Copies of this chain bind each other. A is one copy, B any other.
């Protein structure tokens, strides 16, 4: 039985959502896996937006429970950090001790991205903790997002692949995703 991999990421929001979801699914199939993607199953509209949202959540969670693994696209999304829907899914799969992989298409580390957010106006406090001008502490673990994300995946034997796509391809480049597929094929099957 081929491993079932849940393909988590913000692709559903792209202008070419269907094309991207199909491309990633085809790559997963070519690597010997069965892809499961949010957006595979058409969810019928409900009486309220809230019921509709809950129905989508239920479908996605059911797919995750069925899957053996997740590859989470943690590329920064409208700001510093990954898409929170994808992050919820990574936490969900880690709790179930599934095989957890992730990637980002932005090579810059989390600390540097937060420093950019503060336009470099951060400084160390008396205890040595770097803080923004708003007083909020900046994590500095040399990682690419909040520590819970990469640690959750890698402590379970997974891997976070760091890509470096050109600015106009951060949501469409599949180099780092392909590296995740290769790594799973070599080490987890």
Contact = CB atoms under 8 A, between A and B. Distances in A.
A82 interface: yes
Given A56-B147, A90-B88, A95-B93, A50 B135 contact: no
Interface stretch (A7-15, A28-36, A176-184): A7-15
Interface residues of A, number: 58
Given A57-B152, A83-B146, A141 B89 contact: no
A93 to B, nearest CB: 7
Contacts of A54: 147, 151, 154-155
Contacts of A93: 95
Contacts of A151: 53-54, 56-58
Q: Can you tell how many copies of this chain the complex includes? A: 2
Contact of A142 (B49, B92, B143): B49
A79 interface: yes
B50 A148 contact: no
Contacts of A91: 87-92, 95
A82 to B, nearest CB: 6
Given A13-B137, A49-B141, A84-B84, A117 B152 contact: no
Given A15-B136, A91-B95, 4 more contacts: A57-B148, A83-B146, A92-B94, A95-B95
27 contacts: A10-B136, A12-B137, A14-B137, A15-B135, A17-B137, A49-B143, A53-B151, A54-B147, A54-B151, A54-B155, A56-B147, A56-B151, A57-B152, A78-B114, A78-B136, A79-B81, A82-B84, A84-B84, A84-B87, A85-B146, A85-B147, A87-B87, A88-B88, A88-B149, A89-B91, A89-B148, A91-B91
